[in-house]
Amino acid sequence: MAKKDRFSNTINIRNKQASYEFELLDKYVAGMVLQGTEIKSIREGKVVLKDGYCAFHREELFVYNIHISQYAQGTHFNHTITRQRKLLLNKTELIKIKKKISEKGLTLIPTRLFLSSRGFAKLEIALGKGKKLHDKRDSIKEKDVKRDLERIKY
């Protein structure tokens, strides 16, 4: 009898709130430093990116408030749910991002978590500029118009 695989090979967890709250400018893909049971929880899809944000500590980039649930079969070696996790980027990318954040007052937001072809967890982060209330209303109107046009076509 074959054992049922509870881990999914196609993990694509999105932060839908980010595109509503921020105007996304540049996107980067970064690796993450994880503890043992975190990757198992990610493969089960038990991740919430909604409250996450990125910040520099010295010359390194960390992501905060990403909720990765504890692994159900984990022991006392299980990870803490919302801990800071180091992001892995090239030094030139880090310098470029740090300049943009300090000059223009932009923020770094995690937008998508996925697994690479080699099985590594990757986090897509984006430079975002906060939207005002009227900008949010405009984006809602645009989505409604696009949806109505799609209905008319088909």
Paired residues of 88 in beta bridges:
31
What SS3 class is residue 88? strand
Q: Which domains does the chain have, with CATH numbers?
A: 12-153 (2.40.280.10)
* pLDDT score, position 74: 72
* pLDDT score, position 28: 94
Task: Give dist(CA 12, CA 127) in Å, integer.
Answer: 20
* pLDDT score, position 8: 54
Number of other CB atoms surrounding residue 39 within 10 Å: 19
User: Rounded to whole angstroms, what are the CA distances from 133 to 22, 53, 97, 137, 139?
Assistant: 11, 21, 26, 6, 10
Q: In the chain, which residues have pLDDT < 50?
A: 1-4
Q: What is the DSSP string of 57-111?
A: ETTEEEEE--EEPPPTT--TTPPPSS--EEEE--HHHHHHHHHHHHHH--EEEEE
* pLDDT score, position 143: 87
Q: pTM of the full predicted structure?
A: 0.78
Q: Rounded to a whole number, what is the largest CA-CA distance in the chain?
A: 60
Task: Give dist(CA 111, CA 63) in Å, integer.
Answer: 12
* pLDDT score, position 114: 92
